[in-house]
């Protein structure tokens, strides 16, 4: 009996070993080895959907990856056509549905452009890319998923009267999201180098000149215009630094009519379309004043440099809010999607107030964008770091609920975060990061910043609880490093969104923070929360997380590449 039992166990073990050997995983074989889709799809977040869309034949990661990106582009074009058809019925749709569809249309157009760019790259090569090239495509594929999610969130928030729109588009958006997730997973497996965020680089510091100072390299004509504008106000806006920032043209915006334009949007319209980095920036100098306008910088307005006269001097203000019928996405006072945008010395406000719900001051979906010495003022959802790669340096951010939110790859450095008094019964959450997929290269990194209450919150003796963040989406990722935290931070540090949602899939971390609110002994004990060391923290620095050494120097904005 024992002998038979041993034989059965041995035979069973043999079958298990044989099955394992006959079903190789992607980790076991070279990436160019043809495999069935059932094996390839195991490395994606949606294996069943992946199997249903990939061709039923053996192919390698690169062939399947190219197929999925091509298919995603085709499906995105179809989705755009469906959105257009619904908008043509605008007269019979409620206004909130029209707004949500307009948001989806803009996002679908961006996705078509992004997927076209991704397809061009993956069609050129079968093999691991250089880190910067891989990061470019991974960033675009991550943003495509974010755009899909933003559209879906907007439709889900619609009233029941718009049920037909939701029903017609939701399935298509869901399928597109799964397909783009498969594309991102296959790209990450085949094209992204494994050590992309592995070995931390040495800390690097660039351009340590004073606050708000850029050295602008201009033509003699542009310099004359600029100097005249500065001298007219008898103040020196910018002083000379060590790095030159190439400027190819300039216009002046002034509310008193002394410049080229009286509105910022008119100046943006006059900027050239589809500029390239090597050509230099188009400078829009916005003089002191209050600009009551909703400013939009479209995706074709690339490499704009917008400089104001200083925080609380040049002010852009609006009051759109969800409470007054806007979508969150479209409530922004300043909305940016143009590649390479840089803003300096400007305040942007949303004055809707704490009772109006989501009310965005700035929505940023511009890749390689920078805000330097700027201020963002609002309450709920002040700063929407929507997507792509972003950097904020020496900025002030004011708000209450989720006042820094979105799904960009973003670093805040040397900034001031000011929680303020919310509505009665509300708690403050500084961040609500929206990562939805484990392969997205997104997250919020807050380094060498200061968290202090505004006077109205401080005077309340902190009866309002303030937290470092809460998980808006399943793979929410936020890291605080080398940051001063005043006593307003609740000892638990972090706030759950709803029950145990995302508590095991999120990634929240703290490294070497200071101040009475930084004590981690009573922090949450979620599986996704970590106190990290310098080796791990280095992955969330400007150099490693944003690959900032490759693009920030040309902006002229100071930054520290590594840990402080």
Degrees, nearest 5: CA angle 366-360-408: 35
Are 410 and 429 in contact, with CB atoms under 8 Å apart? no
Q: Kindly report the CA angle at 219 between 217 and 225, in degrees rounded to 5?
A: 100
Q: Which residue has tokens 């101040």? A: 515
**What distance in Å separates the CA atoms of residue 29 and residue 58, rounded to the nearest whole number?**
14
Q: Which of 402, 456, 500, 549 is catalytic?
A: 402
CA distance 523 to 528: 12
- Is 14 exposed, middle or buried (CB count within 10 Å of its CB: 0-12, 13-18, 19+)? exposed
Geometric angle at alpha carbon 47, from 156 and 539, rounded to 5°: 80
Contacts of 463 (CB under 8 A, 6+ apart): none
Please, are residues 363 and 339 in contact by the beta-carbon 8 Å criterion? no
What phi and psi, each to the nearest 5 degrees, are found at residue 95? -55, -40
Q: What is d(CA 317, CA 348) in angstroms, rounded to the nearest whole number? A: 6
Which of 463, 456, 385, 454 lies closest to 427, judged by CA?
Answer: 463
CA torsion angle for 332, 338, 340, 342 (degrees, to 10)?
Answer: -40
Q: Give yes or no: 402 in active site.
A: yes
Dist CA 149 CA 435 (whole Å): 10
Active-site annotation, residues: 402
């Amino acid at each position: 009996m024992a002998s038979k039992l041993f034989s059965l166990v041995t035979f069973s073990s043999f079958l298990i070993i044989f099955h394992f050997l006959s079903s190789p995983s992607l980790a076991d074989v070279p990436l160019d080895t043809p495999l069935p889709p059932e094996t390839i799809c195991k490395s994606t977040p949606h294996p069943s959907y992946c199997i249903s869309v990939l061709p039923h034949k053996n192919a390698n990661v690169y062939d399947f990856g190219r197929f999925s990106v091509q298919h995603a582009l085709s499906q995105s074009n179809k989705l755009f056509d469906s959105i257009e058809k619904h908008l043509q019925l605008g007269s019979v749709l409620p206004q909130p549905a029209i707004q949500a569809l307009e948001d989806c249309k803009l996002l679908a157009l961006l996705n078509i452009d992004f997927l076209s760019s991704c397809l061009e790259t993956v069609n050129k090569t079968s093999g691991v890319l250089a880190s910067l090239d891989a990061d470019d495509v991974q960033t675009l594929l991550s943003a495509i998923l974010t755009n899909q999610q933003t559209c879906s969130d907007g439709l889900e928030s619609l009233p029941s009267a718009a049920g037909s729109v939701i029903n017609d588009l939701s399935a298509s958006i869901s399928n597109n999201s799964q397909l783009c997730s498969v594309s991102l997973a296959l790209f990450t497996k085949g094209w992204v180098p494994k050590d992309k965020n592995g070995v931390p680089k040495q800390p690097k510091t660039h351009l340590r000149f004073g606050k708000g100072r850029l050295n602008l390299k201009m033509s003699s004509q542009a310099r004359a215009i600029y100097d005249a504008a500065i001298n007219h106000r008898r103040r020196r806006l910018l002083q000379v630094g060590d790095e030159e920032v190439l400027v190819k043209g300039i216009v002046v915006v002034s509310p008193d009519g002394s410049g080229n334009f009286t509105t910022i949007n008119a100046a943006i319209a006059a900027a050239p379309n589809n500029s390239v980095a090597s050509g230099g920036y188009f400078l829009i100098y916005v003089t002191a004043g209050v600009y009551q306008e909703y400013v939009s910088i479209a995706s074709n307005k690339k490499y704009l440099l917008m400089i104001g006269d200083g925080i609380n001097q040049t002010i852009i203000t609006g009051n759109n809010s969800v409470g007054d019928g806007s979508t969150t996405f479209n409530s922004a006072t300043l909305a940016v999607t143009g590649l390479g945008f840089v803003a300096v010395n400007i305040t942007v406000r949303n004055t809707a107030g704490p009772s109006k719900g989501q009310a965005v001051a700035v929505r940023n979906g511009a890749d390689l964008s920078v805000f330097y010495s700027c201020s963002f003022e609002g309450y709920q959802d002040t700063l929407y770091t929507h997507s792509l790669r972003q950097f904020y340096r020496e900025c002030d951010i004011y708000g209450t609920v989720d006042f820094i939110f979105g799904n960009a790859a973003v670093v805040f450095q040397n900034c001031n975060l000011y929680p303020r008094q919310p509505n009665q019964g509300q708690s403050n959450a500084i961040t609500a990061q929206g990562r939805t997929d484990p392969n997205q290269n997104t997250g919020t990194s807050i380094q060498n910043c200061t968290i202090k209450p505004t006077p109205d919150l401080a005077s309340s003796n902190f009866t309002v609880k303030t937290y470092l963040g809460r998980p808006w989406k399943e793979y929410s990722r936020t890291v605080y490093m080398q940051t001063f935290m005043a006593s307003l931070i609740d000892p638990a540090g972090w706030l759950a969104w709803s029950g145990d949602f995302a508590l095991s899939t999120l990634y929240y971390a703290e490294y070497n923070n200071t101040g009475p609110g930084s004590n981690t002994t009573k922090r949450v004990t979620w599986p996704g929360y970590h106190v990290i060391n310098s080796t791990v923290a280095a992955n969330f620095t400007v150099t490693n997380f944003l690959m900032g050494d490759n693009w920030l120097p040309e902006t002229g904005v100071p930054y520290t590449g590594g840990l402080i």
